[in-house]
DNA sequence: CTTGACTTGCGAAAGATTATTATTTACGAT
DNA sequence: ATCGTAAATAATAATCTTTCGCAAGTCAAG
């Protein structure tokens, strides 16, 4: 199976890289649609899957409803806001997480995912305000 | 708001504890249905939500399609099989993960979730076998 | 026993993702 | 440059998981 670089695929890749964020499929769909009004949401999903299989992007199966996609391939972790679900990158040295090397429970370990949860600065303010009401 | 201990709720809690696993809502539904054939799936979902709000169980928002629920409340991490999606507990000392204390990117950190991915023993065998075919 | 808030069961709806299918397109070979 | 064909697309239907709305049922306090 050879993968072609179609206009749609190229555009999806470009917009994901441009955003530098962690977009969901439909957010990306909205952005791409500005340039290609006739693109289908299914195409976005399909290409995100294909690109992620091809290791050209990364699928984040982080908590929450929607999957998100990241154009940054280098290993890194994420921090996300429990209130507004914003996701940001987190640079932790690999030395910051000690893992059972090689095996644990008979598993062959292929990776790890560290997700830090918290309140982002914006939501902290919001909550401080609404406390008065409560 | 007071929460009642209805038969359904009790049964859901009991079956989740009995399994010691990490069941999805519909797996739990199937089990409970053996004892209460008329129970509704929505009731299972509702109660899992309520019990998890009440800190009587824990909702795992781990990668994958379905949410899973855990009756073990003590802090622990999880390892899951990329092939068969089985989830198991992982006991790591808190010292095994170093986190930026207090703040990172302006966030107030409320927790962390570590997910180790790998191939479980069963799937390792399956894959070794199928390699011959490829 | 009665009341009223909490719950249930059921069906429908919502949200996210995947599958189907007819049509179009990219790209290597001619 | 043109052709043939496998791969990709658009549009829509379908699926899967989870939630919602509401009438009817149930529990616990008085």
Residue B33 DSSP label = H
What is the CATH T-level fold of the domain A74-134, as seen in this structure?
Dna Ligase; domain 1 (3.30.1490)
The nearest alpha carbon in chain A to B64 belongs to A61
Chain B touched by A3 (CB under 8 Å): no
**Helix (H) / strand (E) containing B117:** strand B107-119
Using CB atoms, pick whichever of B79, B82, B109 lies closest to residue A105. Answer: B79
User: Residue B99 contacts by C-beta under 8 Å, 6 or more apart in sequence?
Assistant: A92, A96, A116, B109, B112
Q: Is the pLDDT of residue A67 over 50?
A: yes
pLDDT in the model for residue A83: 75
A43: the nucleotide nearest its CA (via C1') is: D9
- For residue A104, count other CB atoms closer than 10 A to its CB: 17
| Contacting A residues, span 43-62, partner chain B, CB-CB under 8 Å | 61-62
Per residue of chain B (134 residues), give pLDDT as tens. 578 899 999 999 999 999 877 999 999 999 999 999 999 999 999 999 999 999 999 998 776 788 999 998 887 888 888 777 778 888 765 555 666 545 567 888 888 888 888 888 888 887 777 655 43
Helix (H, G, I), strand (E, B) or coil at A33: helix
Q: How far apart are CA B61 and CA B115, in angstroms?
A: 11
Helices A7-19 and A41-53 sit at what angle, rounded to 10 degrees?
80
Using CB atoms, pick whichever of A90, A96, A111 lies closest to residue B98. Answer: A96
For A59-78, what is the mean pLDDT? 84
CATH number assigned to the domain covering A1-73: 1.10.10.10
pLDDT tens, A27-62? Answer: 999 999 999 999 999 999 999 999 999 999 999 877
Name the residues contacting strand C (CB < 7 Å). A 4-7, 24-26, 41-42, 45, 49, 65-67; B 1-4, 6, 8-9, 36, 38-40, 42-43, 46-47, 50
Chain A touched by B96 (CB under 8 Å): yes
**Domain locations along chain B:** 1-72, 74-134
What is the CATH T-level fold of the domain B1-72, as seen in this structure?
Arc Repressor Mutant, subunit A (1.10.10)
Helix (H, G, I), strand (E, B) or coil at A44: helix
């Amino acid at each position: 199976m050879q993968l072609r670089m179609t206009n749609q695929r190229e555009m999806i890749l470009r917009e994901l890289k441009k955003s530098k964020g962690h977009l969901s499929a439909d957010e990306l769909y909205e952005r791409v649609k500005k340039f290609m009004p006739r693109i289908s949401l299914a195409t976005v999903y399909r290409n995100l899957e294909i690109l992620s299989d091809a290791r050209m992007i990364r699928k984040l199966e982080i908590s929450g409803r929607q999957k998100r996609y990241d154009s940054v391939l280098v290993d890194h972790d994420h921090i996300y806001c429990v209130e507004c679900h914003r996701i940001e990158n987190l640079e932790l040295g690999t030395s910051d997480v000690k893992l059972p090397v090689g095996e644990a429970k008979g598993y062959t370990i292929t990776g790890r995912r560290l997700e830090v949860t918290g309140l982002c600065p914006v939501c902290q303010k919001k909550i401080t305000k609404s406390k008065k009401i409560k």
